Amino acid sequence: MAAILLFAAIAPGQTVTGKHVRVAVSARPQTVHPGDRVTLAMDLSLNPGLHVYAPGVEDFIPIAWSMKPNPAAAVQPVTFPPSRKVHLPIIDETVPVYEGHIHLARNAILSKSAMGNITLEGVLRYQACDDRMCYIPENLAVKWTLQVQSR
């Protein structure tokens, strides 16, 4: 299946809408200092009746959040919320999914030399499904611009 890449210039506090999901990005704190830890977050709202597969699912495309390398920050792994096991009659399997609202977060440690505005870029990959079918996977480009001030 082909993937769709949606590009969006999103500042923290902004929202972007994909075909099946609305994503609000945030960073806390937004103003930071060299060497600080910042928490990057995405709050996803899936359209009603849809689910996405959780990490660890086999034979399906799980939700994933990748980050582009940036020397200004060391990005830590994503914290995924607990998933819910759902039996899907159409495939006669029980699988881990997310439905409704999903909060994803990860920390980034700024380098000691980071200064000025830095932009951290990532991609949210997901495949939305309903009780009958799965839709074409989407890649949603997201970014966070942080103000790094001297101490």
Burial 7-38 (b: 16+ CB within 10 A, else e): eeebebeeebebebbebbbbbeeeebeeebeb
- Give the residue from 122, 110, 129 showing the smallest Cα distance to 34: 110
CATH number, domain with residue 10: 2.60.40.1250
| pLDDT value of position 26 | 94
How many domains does the chain fold into? 1
Which domain range does residue 73 map to? 4-148
Task: Tell me the mean pLDDT per 10 residues along the chain, length 151.
Answer: 35 74 92 94 96 93 97 96 90 92 97 94 95 93 92 75
Q: Interior CA angle at 79 toward 70 and 143, to 5°?
A: 35
pTM beyond 0.75, yes or no: yes
| pLDDT value of position 149 | 92
| pLDDT value of position 138 | 96
